[in-house]
Amino acid sequence: MIVPRRKFLILLACGFAFSLLGFAAPVFGVLQYVYYLVLVVLTGVDIAFIPRKKELTVAREHEKFLSIGAGNLIRFRVANKSGFACRIELRDEYPGEMETADDRVILDSAPMSIAAAAYQIKPLRKGDYRFGGVQLRVSGRLGLTARQYRYDIPTDVKVYPNILELKKYLMMFRANRLEQIGYKRPMHGGENEFDFLREYLWGDNYRKINWKATAKHRYPIVEVDEKEYNRNVFTLIDAGRMMTTRYGDLTKLDYAVDASLILAGAASRKKDFFGLLTFSDKVHSYIKPSRKNRVLNEVLSALYKTEADFYRSDYLAAYRYLMHRLRKNSIIFVFSELYDRIVSEDLMRLLRLLAGHHQIYFVSFEEVEEWAKGEDLGSIARKILQEEQIAEKETIVRELSKTGIRTIRVNAENIKQKVVNTYLSV
């Protein structure tokens, strides 16, 4: 299909000026015909030099797994097998469960070459999805017209928890620069137990320089001592109706899942054991605490399958299931939500029971509901209810702290950093 471009429409409109001038002098009427004749010839030349559909090849590329709630790069490579240069405007047919600021990709393609460009897409739900075709609008060298093509290149993709954030954490951990992305640096030393050698970084203790290794490599090498904790780090994730609330772009469960994934990465680098349990009205998944290399893959697979449902969570059933399997004293992060004393009675009981055997950290989301202004009777009543709910929640948190249960207050922006930093501080 041939589509006129904006430049062609502007030039076409300019021709009407000769019609107006033709009332004053007939010669302008002749010039109008000449003008339109030249425009038609140029348009024909422009169309003739636009590459045909069979002369263009389109390929879509992306990571094996996309990350929920993060900007994932979708790359395109367009091979131009013709002898003509062109400008290509590309639009992708992406799944409706994803969003992007701009799905339009512009490429300038030289003759007999391959052009590449990319755009970012943000998935809002985990699961299996399919990209459809790709629409191309190919303009000629003069930019007067374009040919529009559609290429059917369906691509299946899986959306996982935020793997990009995990990769960033592990990369910055290796570079000893976790502070740059908001995480604490793991505590080294204390047991005088040698762990490994690495290149000297700013801030390292110069007394730990290994002079023999330094002379061999010709740059400073330091010894790193690290405590061998062998601790159990465990996450208990409520996937019931209390976690279905949307908190920004994602649900509370999605943020809990992302934080658990980063926590698993941090625990593996600290050589601690990591495990998890997800539940609602029943137990959905359980991973025994482990520090084997495959534990991250097991955690990722379990969290990928975790979806919030609208059943009432059975906290006591989750406790009974866990206590038969987790006998070693552990650091447990509980992801759920308090509402009021009546609704959260079973949750409070679960936390107190766990606190008798383990070190408990309860992760609570800060309220983001818009406060009522109190301008009319309905608004005043709503404001009073909001204040009472907040006050009751604060009372519950204080009561829990008296039994040794620490509450971590988080929001969508800092949940991963706060959870991981709390673990690294223990």
Selected from 2.120.10.30, 2.60.40.10, 1.20.1440.230, 3.30.230.10, the CATH number assigned to the domain covering 1-160 reads 2.60.40.10
Overall size of the chain counted in residues: 426
Answer whether 146's CB lies under 8 Å from 3's CB. Answer: yes
Mean pLDDT across the stretch 112-117? 93
Which is higher by pLDDT, 196 or 404? 404
Question: For residue 182, is pLDDT > 60?
Answer: yes
| 335 neighbors 238 (Cβ within 8 angstroms) | yes
The pLDDT assigned to 134 comes to 94
CA neighbor of 59 nearest in space, from 95, 127, 123, 105? 105
Q: Would you say residue 281 has pLDDT above 80?
A: yes
The per-residue pLDDT for range 360-397, each reduced to its tens digit, is 999 998 875 665 566 677 676 777 777 777 788 888 88
Closest CA to 56 of 25, 81, 24: 81
Structure tokens at 99: 């969003």
- Asked if 287 contacts 276 with a C-beta cutoff of 8 angstroms, the reply is yes
pLDDT at 133: 92
**Cβ-contact 126, 147 below 8 angstroms:** no
Decide which of 371 and 50 is more confident.
50
Tell me the pLDDT band of 189, cut-offs 50, 70 and 90.
very low
Averaged pLDDT for residues 311-330: 92
| CA Rg value for the chain | 31
Find, among 118, 417, 149, the residue nearest to 262 by Cα: 417
Q: Is the pLDDT of residue 336 over 90?
A: yes
Angle ∠(376,377,378) on CA atoms, nearest 5: 95
Name the strands in the sheet holding 72-80, side by side, starting at the edge strand that comes first in the sequence: 56-61, 72-80, 113-123, 98-99
203's torsion region: left (phi>0), alpha (psi -120 to 50) or beta? left
Please name which of 10, 39, 35 lies closest in space to residue 21, comparing C-alpha atoms: 35
- 359, 331 Cβ separation under 8 angstroms: yes
Contacts by residues 170-174 (CB-CB < 8 Å, ≥ 24 positions apart)? 170/265, 170/269, 173/265, 173/266, 173/269
Q: What is the 3-state secondary structure (H, E, C) of 100-158?
A: CCCCEEEEEECCCEEEEEEEEEEECCCEEEEECCEEEEEECCCCCEEEEEEECCCEEEE
Fold of the 232-425 domain: Rossmann fold (3.40.50)
pLDDT tier, 209 (very low <50, low <70, confident <90, very high otherwise): confident
Pick from 270, 419, 408, 393: which is nearest to 339 by CA?
A: 393
Delimit the domains of the chain by residue range.
1-160, 232-425
Alpha-carbon distance of 162 to 24, in angstroms, equals 70
Beta bridge partners of 108: 87
The lowest-confidence range among 16-25, 41-50, 233-242 is: 16-25
Domain 1-160 identical in fold to domain 232-425: no
Distances (CA, A) of 351 to 237, 287, 360: 13, 20, 7
